[in-house]
Structure formats: structure tokens, C-alpha cells
Chain A
Amino acid sequence: MIWDKEKECISRKDLMQLQLERLQSTIHRVYKNVPFYRKMFDRVGIDPDSFSSLEDIKKIPFTTKNDLRENYPYGLFAVPLREVVRIHTSSGTTGMPIVVGYTKNDIKIWTEVVARILTAGGITKDDVVQIAFSYGLFTGAFGFHYGAEKIGASVIPVSIENPKKQVKILQDYKTTAIVSTPSYALLIANTIIELGINPNSLSLKYGLLGAEPWSEQMRKEIEEKLKIVATDNYGLTEVMGPGVAGECLYKNGLHINEDHFLVEIIDPESLQSVQEGEVGEVVITTLTKEAFPILRFRTGDLTRFIVGDCPCGRTFRRIDRIMGRTDDMIIIKGVKIFPSQIEAILYETEGAHPNFQIILDREAGVDRMTVLLEMSEFIFSDVMKEQDMLVKQIKKRLLEELGIDTEVKLVEKRSLERLEGKIRRVIDKRE
């Protein structure tokens, strides 16, 4: 099923015309209404009337998270506050939160793009959708809530609850689809197993999971444990919230809602566009946002464009699943490594979702990487010999995959420090 065939299957030619029109009017609006952008254009000498192709966007400097913080709270709004009907903030783990606003139309478009993603993930008006995102300043819950209601599905706004309560609702209310982070879906899956419930007795069919990077192995684990089809979706508060891109049931990349978002992928160091298909940082320009338009926002998320057509019929370009964050990209001895690569290896040796942390330090001028892996029921063993074997095995696989000699240490369960439930992936102690 395709929610908006006319748009989602638009020809490249028509799409590029629409994108150009929208880019031009967005630039005129931000130049007129947002002092930050007017100053930026004037400073680097860009004429807002000089945009005649989508390529011209490359003239504009990037907008960074720091720019957003410096304009806390309302500095980048393009409309007066009285036209704003909603405020959300990003869950910034460091420093000031980022405040974003929505006009009535922004909410309408948000609803529409999420409805597309839910439909692509299998949801129809007959589904019972359990939303297990926190309702509050975070955008995730509201975006999916609106989209699911728009489709006509029955929405259960559970929010974040203790997993046993989630499972009871899953069972009793005959939920057919769950919307959450992948790690939360896994927690629910494990709770179902702990409670001795047969997953086949549930009505659950689909999972729309996002808001954090997750591996294919993790998808497999979630799908097997919950007996569902799990799709990935992508979005971020700074540009909208959920709704930027999402997988269809072919699960071969996330279709970008290109009529509303212009996506580029750049090399985070040279800041130039990467070759089609190469991994780089996602940069997003909003094409229709009224209250909080943003030009060339550096998301810090790493992925690549997927070349070719998707058999589903949607013509929107796809990005691969998010591979990690630029802040997490490790350059050690000249080699670029993403924590997701290490995660995949740990997953494969441990056979379950690993909790780990990467420590980088320098000894006698030589860079060193250490992986701290928390023990779990899957690897817990009193026998030192078995632990040694496991560590050796992981070290060998890391060396094979990354070409870097890595130290591996087992640590106690839940001993790694967590911030809002997330382990800080990389700690760089090299100066």
C-alpha cells in the first residue's frame, strides 16, 4: 500500500521542479524572516535570488547544532510565536536543548509524512497501534500518533511504561503494531519470553522502530522474538521529528520524503558531497516548514544513498540505515571505524544485543582501542577459561574486520555508565 501515490511515485523530473520551487520560496522566506540566515547570506555574499538549480544549495554554509543552541530558544523561528501551535525540544544529551516550533500547516504536513511511513511499514486503518514512545517534549510519540490516526488505525498512546504493563496491553488490547525504539522493542520481546508468553498467541504483526541506530542482527532478533515484520524509520526534531524517511516492506533502505526534505550526504571532513553510494553525513534542508525552516542542517548521522529503484514503486530516493554518528566515528591509526561495525561483531559472537563501550587512549604515542563488554546471561561464565576463549575470539574477529588490534575486556553487568538509558559509545582519552 502507498499512502499518497501521486507524490510518492512522482517522476524525477516533476520532483526536481517541485523541489526547486520549494527551495526558492524557502530561501526567500528565511532571508526575509530569520535574521540568522539573512546575516549568514550577507556575510558570505550569497544573493537569495541566485538559486536557479538544486545544485546551487551547495553555496549555502551549513547550519550546525551549535547554531541552533546559540539561538536558544526562538532565534531561528521564521514566524511570530502567535502563529506557532506547538513547541518541541530535542533530547540534547549535552548542553542546551534545541527548541523547535510548528504552525498549523507544519503539523498537517508532519501528519501526512508519518502516515506515508506507517503505510509503507504495513499499517492500515484496521491496525491497532501501540505507541511506546514518551509523550512530552520528544517528537516521536506525537508524530506517530497523528500519522496513525490519519490513516484511521486505532491508537493506544501507552507512552513509556514498565515493560510488563506494555506486554499486558499488547495481549489484552490485541495490539497489531508497535511503535518504539528498537531497544525498547527488544526489552518488550525479552519480557514476553521471561513471562513465558507464547509470541504466536499475540496479534502483533508489525513494528515501526526508530530514533536510534540498530543493526540487521538486532532486527532479526526482534522479528524472531516478537514474530513481526520490523521496519526502520528516520527523523529528527531539528527538521521535523519522525517522518523524514522510512522503510517499505522490502526493507532495503529508507525512502526519503523528498517533496518535503532535500537530503545531501557529505564527507564530514572535507564537507564536500560524497560519491553516490558512499557513506557520509546526512545534511537536510526543509522544503515546506513554516515555523522552523532549516537550511543544510548537519545531522551528524552517517549513512549512504542507495542507488537504483525499489520494487515497491515509490520513486523517492532511499538512504541506507543509519550507521552511526559522526561524533562516534573513530579515526585510529588512520582507519575510520564506526561503533556499529564493532557492535555487529559483538552481536555475532555473543548471539545477543551487546552492551559495550569503546575507550580510546594513547600509550607512548601509540593509539590504542579497548572494547569494554558487559557480561550478560549469554556470556556469563564462571569458568575463566571460557571467558578467555570468548575474548580471544572477539579480538580475532575485530582484527579481521577492522584491521586494528583491539583490547577486549569483560566488565560486570550494568557497570557501564548510562545517560538516559544510553551507554556513551565512545570515550576518547587521547588529548
Chain B
Amino acid sequence: MLVIRNLDVYYDKLYTLKKVSLHVKQGEIVTLIGSNGAGKTTLLNAISGLIRPAGGSILFNDEEILGKTPESIVKMGISQVPEGRLIFKTLTVEENLLLGAYSYYSIKRKREVKEEMEKIYKLLPVLKHRKKQLAGTLSGGEQQMLAIGRALMAKPKLLLLDEPSMGLAPTVIHEIFKYIVELKNLFRLTVLLVEQNARSALKISNRGYVIETGRIINEGSAEDLLLNRDIQRAYLGRDLDSEVKI
């Protein structure tokens, strides 16, 4: 579904991505793990067309999307849930969701928008209960669900999620990841997930990539990556040095 080859991105002559190649197959959840500044968000922004890569190729269903505008990329079926959620706090929940349908909204398609919204309300009843409430009054977890709901309003085939667990309590994180799987199944989505919370993310993923200073240094099934001790030490918070002494 998504095939990225040799993607180069740099800011001010400093590379943030160096020949990054990765792919996501239809129906997969793929996680990109890496520390702060490794280039995770840059990669998602490049897919969404928000930044312009210096080179490489991004194929979405065999079509080159590099160089297309963010609007046309959304229309093709790629939605991004940005880091820090970026919801419109002074608008109501429902208004936020409606904005997600911006790419295809018209009087004629009002019913379609309504149906889409009902589907989201059904799965995320908390949004339905608070639909008239200002988004800024929601809890962190609810805001994250709203941000995801808003992205789904665009009827994406590929959902890009940037740090959905950021700033949330552990129990809420657990719930968010559970919802991601449910939404994926219900909406037949394919998901590319960027996370620092590597363990929770890998647990719901099929495969993963590890990015370090703009380069992919590991790729494998989620299960294999969870087993990899290098990754355990760097991203899964396991302190191996205190465990074994040689």
C-alpha cells in the first residue's frame, strides 16, 4: 500500500532523513520506533506532503505522491493524527469532527458526513456524550480520541498516528492502543504508527522499523523487535547493564 524508497529530507543542509526505505502492506499496523529527534515525525510529515523531501519516492497504491499537496494526499486516502493532537480547543467536539471531513464536504454529501460521524460515535461513545462540549474541556485521553476521530472523518485508507500516547496516563495509553486496533478493524484501515512508547506500540503491530539519527537500522516482525536486546535497551526501558555482568 505504502512504499517509501530512499527518502532524503534535510533542514538547513542538515539531514533529518537519510535514504529511508520502508513499506506498509494493506491491513498492517506498522510501528516506527526511535528516540526524540530521530526523524519519526519528519517521515510522517513527508508522507502527508507537509514538508518537501530532497529526494526519494513515496508510492501510495503504486502512485507517486511526492510533490502532491497535502489536500490531494488526504483525498487519496491518507490522514495524519498529529503529535500533540492539535485539536481546535475553542470549537465543540462535533465541530472538530466536521472539520475532518473538509476534503469532501459539500451540501450534497451531507448524509455521507453524518453517517461517518455516527460510525465514529458508535465506537467512541465518549465523543457522542460530549459532542456539544468545547474540545478544550476534554481530558487528554478524550482529546486523543477526538483527534483520531477527526482524522477518520476524512475516510482514510492509511492512518498516520504520531505519538498517540504522549502525555497520557498508563491506563489511558492502554485504552488508546486498544481503540486503535478496534478502529483499524472496523474501518479496514492500514496504520503507520510513530511511538516512543515502543512496547505498547509493538504489541499491537505486525511489524516495526527502528530509526536512529534519520536512518533505519532495524526492521522486523514486532515480535522479533521486542526480543532484540539492543532495542530493549534503547527503547523498551530495560536496563541490561544492571542485569548481566561480563
Contacts and interface: CB of A to CB of B under 8 A. Distances in A.
B220 A79 contact: no
Contacts of A17: 3, 5, 21, 23
Nearest to A109: B224
Given A21-B23, A28-B216, A290 B3 contact: no
A103 B229 contact: yes
Interface in B206-246: 209-210, 212, 215-220, 224, 227-230, 240, 244, 246
Contacts of B23: 14, 17-18, 21
Contacts of A109: 224
Instruction: Name the residue among A28, A104, A108 with the largest chain B CB count within 10 angstroms.
Output: A28
A49 B218 contact: no
Interface string A27-40: 01100100000000
B240 A82 contact: yes
Contacts of B22: 21
Interface in A1-52: 14, 17-18, 20-22, 24-25, 28-29, 32, 49-52
Contacts of A80: 246
Contacts of A50: 19
Size bracket of the A interface? 20 to 34
B41 to A, nearest CB: 20
B106 interface: no
A178 to B, nearest CB: 32
A381 interface: no
Interface string B38-54: 00000000000000000
A81 interface: yes
Given A49-B18, A51-B19, A24 B216 contact: yes
Interface in B32-77: none
B246 A82 contact: yes
B6 interface: yes
A367 interface: no
Contacts of A176: none
Nearest to B3: A17
B227 A32 contact: no
A80 B244 CA distance: 12
A81 B246 contact: yes
A22 B229 contact: no
Contact of B6 (A52, A108, A290): A52
Contacts of B220: 105, 288
Nearest to B214: A49
Interface string A97-109: 0000001110011
B224 A25 contact: no
A288 B225 CA distance: 12
B56 to A, nearest CB: 8
Contact of A104 (B5, B227, B240): B227
A25 B230 contact: no
A49 B22 CA distance: 15
Contact of B228 (A14, A22, A82, A103): A103
- Chief secondary structure at chain A's binding surface: helix
A278 interface: no
A22 B215 contact: no
Contact of B219 (A22, A51, A83): A22
Interface in A80-118: 80-83, 103-105, 108-109
Given A17-B5, A52-B6, A105-B224, A29 B19 contact: no
A24 B224 contact: no
A49 B19 contact: yes
Given A28-B216, A29-B217, A105-B220, A21 B21 contact: yes
Contacts of A104: 227, 229
A389 B212 CA distance: 71
Contact of A105 (B5, B217, B227): B227
B216 A83 contact: no
A367 to B, nearest CB: 50
A25 B246 contact: no
Contacts of A103: 228-229
A32 B217 contact: yes
Interface in B175-226: 209-210, 212, 215-220, 224
B216 A25 contact: yes
Nearest to B21: A21
Among A21, A51, A109, A290, max chain B CB count under 10 A is at: A21
Contact of B229 (A24, A51, A52, A79): A79
A82 B244 contact: yes
B228 A290 contact: yes
Contact of A25 (B3, B15, B219, B227): B219
Contacts of A81: 246
Interface string A285-329: 000101000000000000000000000000000000000000000
With most chain A CB atoms within 10 A of its CB, the pick from B21, B22, B216 is: B21
Nearest to A80: B246
Contacts of B18: 49
A128 to B, nearest CB: 30
A104 B19 CA distance: 29
A25 B240 contact: no
A20 B5 contact: yes
Contacts of A29: 217-218
Interface in A51-84: 51-52, 79-83
A105 to B, nearest CB: 5
A79 B230 contact: yes
18 contacts: A17-B5, A20-B5, A21-B23, A21-B209, A21-B219, A24-B215, A25-B219, A28-B212, A28-B216, A28-B217, A29-B217, A29-B218, A49-B15, A50-B19, A81-B246, A82-B229, A82-B246, A103-B228
Given A21-B21, A82-B229, A104-B229, 16 more contacts: A17-B3, A18-B23, A21-B209, A22-B219, A24-B19, A28-B215, A28-B217, A29-B218, A32-B217, A49-B18, A49-B19, A52-B19, A79-B230, A105-B224, A105-B228, A109-B224
User: Ordered nearest first, which 3 A-B pairs have the shortest CB separation?
Assistant: A52-B6, A83-B229, A21-B21
